[in-house]
Structure 1
Amino acid sequence: MKNLDRNSLLNFLDAQKDEAARLLAQLIRFPSTQGQEAEIQEFLHERFRALGLETELLPISPSLKADPEYSFSDLDIDYDERPNLVATLQGTGGGRSVMLNAHSDVVPAGQWPGAFEPEIKGDYVYGRGACDDKGKIVVMYLALSGLKEFGLRPRGDIIATAVIEEEVGGNGSLALIRGGLRADAVVVLECTEFTLAPAHRGCLWFRAQVEGRATHLGKTREAISAIDEATELIQILKNYEKNLIAQSKGHPLFPEPEEAVQLNIGMISAGEWPSTVPSRCVLEGGVGFLPNKTLEQVKRELKEAVQKEGNEWLREHFQIDFPKLHNDAYETPADHPLVETFGEAMQEAGLDPTPKGWIVSCDARLFSKLAGLPTIVFGPGRLIDCHSNEEKISIPDILKAAEVLTLFLLRWCGTE
């Protein structure tokens, strides 16, 4: 491996501070919510091509919606002019390849009028997507810029990807996997606060429906309120959460399972008139779980909990399905060479390399579970800032992450 003096790398990255802030601000100005990703993908295509990479905008087939792993959202949007970006630095041969993954889509602005009007305040850049996940695209860009600056050619291929629809469940990464894109390892760039995460929790959204027997308010005692039955259902689901936490204790990468294992009721819909006993109540929510459970186990256990604890009416008038987000948990062994090599890069950069599970889910589980690739999650930024009305990221943190990523690429891919 051709050595790179760390001080030279630090000096290079420090000189890129203003450029990194400007590039991130440019990315934030693209309101790249679901369905609006075309312009940012074209912009990134040109920026990465200017680094000398082989770039390609890969269209997504409409047939992806028939894939059993596809995640549906509330918006039914076609994929015309909404491609994934793949930018490849071809290796010279004999080294291990790696795929870098970040997403260019963002959640909507919500109640933040200036979400897509970036502000640079001191060391921070504010705006929608600053932390989740456009700052990580800048990390990729800086690391690849550094290799170019120092004339370092990797032995193994470096494949940088900027995908769409991560926020609705990972359909962009799913398309890459179904299209056959592979590497010897995958680094998914997300806001782990510099934690090396070879695992993350799963997250399953559910929709539960309870039927009642409607009648007039004056005959309430002869009716069966769907809301009353749903109240019992909520308690059963909360009991399931307690049992799930208890069963998740002892996982070495998740020492405090309460941080990741939760069940939340996010939406309730019921009733048509104040003086009518409701005949139907629909609950929508989600459950987080650790790699000790599979997605299919959690689905089955939710149904079994109601059949075991519910009253006779509830058992016979209850339905549950899972039409939206269905992210499995995943885990790469902590002693895998990918984890160890990335940890060495972190240690050289002065960061704690102790592996720990990430308490949310992302596209990493797709590369691990569907493609069978060793995968980790890493990146700068705080989870609490993501999706907020003051979303921000520190430019020094972006530079530090680029340092780690560059050092990792040199170790993993080899150079000459």
Structure 2
Amino acid sequence: MPPRPSLPISNSRSVLSPSATPEWYSDPPVVLRSPGSHRCAHRSPQRWGRRVRFCCVTAVEPRTEAEQRALDAVDIDGIVDDLRELVAIPSVGGSTAEHDAQQWCADRLSALGHHVDHWRIDVRELAQHPDFPGQEADRDEAYGCVGVSSEGEPALVFCGHTDVVPPGDLDRWPDRDPYSLRVSDGIAAGRGTCDMKGGVVAFLGALRALRTAGVELARPVAVHAVVGEEDGGLGAFATLQRGHRGEACVIAEPSLDTIVAANGGSLTFRLEIPGQGTHGSTRYRGVSALEKLAELLPVLRELEARRNAGPDPLVAHLEIPYPLSVGTARVGDWASTVPDLAIAEGRYGVRLGEFVEEAQAEFTAAVAEACAADPWLAEHPVRVSWPGGIFASGRLPEGHPLLEETREAITASGGPAPEVVGAPYGTDLRQYAATGMPTLQYGPGDVRYAHAHDEHVGIADLERCARAYALLAIRRCGIA
């Protein structure tokens, strides 16, 4: 099937004045470099707002004239304009707008002179693969998009997903509009700005800076724009199955001035707890499935505590590295009837280095042990199943040079020295790492604002990451 036609993008702007800025848009401030640093990371704070704070960052000067040209060519205004266009595409997972966001990326990559592979993914066929990561959104097709700067194996891959989660209650958004970018006080707000369209436009901005500066890379750099990340990662899976690889990969997920070198995984569990229905006036004759569910909750808390004892050093800073939580519960269908079925679904963390099957077995065993100790559940055991996406854990191999290369690119481009951490949530990192491709995450934004009604990304953060990406591409790929 030929690529979908380009989507007409609205050029309308929706910028909040300082007086109209909601309280939740008060984070993060514009950052200006002190005189001892390389350059101002945000050249024109007046354009975006008035909140300014100063910080002292000791930066390494770029080593070559070509690197300096590339850094000077980073166009933050153009990056914000790109973000405005991409946010305007409501690419909720499973919607046709996912295709439109991929078309937008394909058009941008073509304009950069990349060789673009934009193809239709047959999701039904892909789902037959034994390693298919699953999906929660209802889709029969999706589109992949890969751009490669030149022939040969890419020395560096930039990866980002273009799908977003639903906006939730529209009354929580200014003007009930999550998809009009609002720029004020040094931040850009709207659905997908943080997770992770900000990262996508930042690495596209870096590649545009290389082109503007006339910097030709000796080895290819690639961009993988993927869909379906939020509900399992089918886009990355399809891209890798198609044969698109590289020597190393940087995923532009929000990392808040850190480098994420490992991800814990996550699974969705479903518990079906049987009861025995009866009239509410004779409840003593029945067994409440709701009460049996309540009795299981302490068991799940104990399991979570055991699994978080002695965590890997990369995630030891987290209060709960591998969370276990119940997110939904559906019980009963009539107020005066003792419920005969409770269905609970939740999120279950997978430890670093742990196989998914091992994590599932420990969960199932804990539930089975609780059932065995209860007279009713011993005869009518809880059914455990695993719907939705499967996020295994993943990590960058210890000692791989990509980590130090990324760290040096960040500081040499004017950014603060990043801490190296692990994250408690799953991303596409685990899929790239599983192929043997060394992968880490570094991108603009704070994950605490992902999926939230106050989702936003700092303008200075976008520029800082774009500069680091440009320098990393030059140093990893070389100059022709």
TM-score (norm 2): 0.80
After superposition, where does 1:172-321 map in structure 2 within 5 Å?
A: 172-246=235-309, 249-310=310-371, 311-315=374-378, 316-321=380-385
CA contact (8 A) 1:202 1:330 kept: yes
Q: Any unmatched runs of 5+ in structure 2? A: 1-62, 171-175
Tell me the residue number matched to 2:30: none
Q: Is residue 2:105 matched to residue 1:105?
A: no
What amino acid is aligned across from residue 448 of structure 2 in structure 1? I
Matched, 1:362 2:421: no
1:266 and 1:285 in contact (8 A); partners too: yes
Shift of 1:73: 4.5
Q: CA deviation at 1:74?
A: 4.9
Residue aligning to 2:448: 384
Q: Which segment is superposed worse, 147-156 or 225-234?
A: 147-156
Instruction: Specify the SS of the correspondent of 1:66.
Output: coil
Normalising by structure 1, report the TM-score.
Answer: 0.92
Distance 1:54 1:163 in 2: 16
Please tell me whether the aligned partners of residues 174 and 366 of structure 1 are also in contact (alpha carbons under 8 angstroms): yes
Gap regions ≥5 residues in structure 1: none
Once the two structures are superposed, the pairs formed by residues 74-223 of structure 1 within 5 Å of their partners are 74-79=136-141, 82-90=142-150, 97-112=155-170, 113-223=176-286
Deviation at residue 5 of structure 1 after TM alignment? 5.2
CA distance in 2, matches of 1:75, 1:201: 22
Identity %: 28
Kindly indicate whether the alpha-carbon contact (under 8 Å) linking 2:314 and 2:420 is maintained by their aligned counterparts in 1: yes
- Letter of the structure 1 residue corresponding to residue 286 of structure 2: A
Which deviations, in whole Å up to 9, do the C-alpha atoms of 1:338-375 show, x marking residues without a partner? Answer: 22221221232332243211232211111112x22111
1:6–1:159 Cα change, 3 Å? closer
Aligned partners of 1:218, 1:47: CA distance in 2, in Å? 66
In 2, Cα distance between the equivalents of 1:85 and 1:398?
22
Give every structure 1 segment of 4 or more consecutive aligned residues whose post-TM-superposition deviation is greater than 6 Å: none
Residues 212 and 317 of structure 1 are in contact (CA less than 8 Å); yes or no, is this contact kept in structure 2?
no
* Structure 2 letter corresponding to 1:28: V
Q: Distance in 1 between matches of 2:106 and 2:397?
A: 34
Provide the residue aligned with 2:84 in structure 1.
25
Within the candidate set 402, 406, 412, 2:466 is matched to 402
Any idea what SS the aligned residue of 1:287 has? strand
Q: CA deviation at 1:96?
A: 6.2
Shift of 1:90: 1.2
- Per the TM alignment, residue 281 of structure 1 is displaced from its structure 2 partner at its CA by 0.6
Distance (Å, rounded) in 2 between the aligned partners of 1:39 and 1:216: 53
SS at match of 2:72: helix
Distance 1:52 1:292, change over 3 A: closer
The amino acid of 2:84's aligned partner reads: A
Contact 1:120/1:126 (8 A) holds in 2: yes
Shift of 1:170: 0.8
Alpha-carbon distance in structure 1 between the residues aligned to 2:221 and 2:323 = 37
Q: Amino acid of the residue matched to residue 351 of structure 2?
A: L
Q: Deviations over 1:369-413 (max 9, x none)?
A: 2x2211111101011221111221122211110111111112222
> How far did residue 68 of structure 1 move?
3.7
- Cα distance in structure 1, aligned partners of 2:394 and 2:135: 23
Q: CA deviation at 1:307?
A: 2.1
State the alpha-carbon separation in 2 of the partners of residues 100 and 6 from structure 1. Answer: 19
Deviation at 1:258, TM superposition (A): 2.8
- Structure 1 residue 245: Cα displacement: 1.0
SS in 2 for 1:40: helix
> Which of 401, 405, 414 matches 1:341?
405
Alpha-carbon distance between aligned partners in 1 of 2:77 and 2:412, rounded to the nearest angstrom: 25
Q: Which moved more, 1:290-299 or 1:128-137?
A: 290-299
Q: Could you give the per-residue CA deviations for residues 195-234 of structure 1, whole angstroms, max 9, x where no partner exists?
A: 1111011111100111112222343223222111111111
In the alignment, the residues of structure 2 paired with residue 335 and residue 72 of structure 1 have an alpha-carbon distance, to the nearest angstrom, of: 32
Preserved contact between residue 106 and residue 128 of structure 1 (Cα < 8 Å): yes
Instruction: Tell me the alpha carbon deviations over residues 132-175 of structure 1, each in whole angstroms, 9 at most, x when there is no partner.
Output: 11111111111111221232222322110111111111111011
> Which residue of structure 2 lines up, in the alignment, with residue 54 of structure 1?
115
Decide whether the 8 Å contact of 1:334 with 1:340 is kept in 2: no
Quote the Cα distance in structure 1 between the aligned partners of 2:88 and 2:421. 34
Q: Distance in 1 between matches of 2:311 and 2:337?
A: 49
Moved more, 68-77 or 133-142: 68-77
Structure 1 residues 117 and 415: CA distance shift in structure 2, 3 A: same
Cα deviation, residue 7, structure 1? 4.4
How far did residue 109 of structure 1 move? Answer: 2.0
What SS class does the counterpart of residue 422 from structure 2 fall into? coil
> C-alpha separation between the residues in 2 aligned to 1:395 and 1:84?
28
State the match for 1:65 in structure 2.
127
Deviating more after overlay: 62-71 vs 183-192: 62-71
Shift of 1:6: 5.0
CA contact (8 A) 2:134 2:390 kept: no
CA contact 1:186–1:376 (8 Å) conserved in 2: yes
For residues 314-334 of structure 1, give each alpha carbon's deviation from its aligned partner in whole angstroms, at most 9, with x where no partner exists. 244211110112201111223
Aligned partner letter, 2:148: T
Which residue identity lines up with residue 323 of structure 2 in the other structure? Answer: Q
Query: How far apart are 1:282 and its partner, in Å?
Result: 0.6
- Amino acid across the alignment from 1:287: Y
1:155 counterpart letter in structure 2: A
Instruction: Provide the aligned length of Structure 1 versus Structure 2.
Output: 407
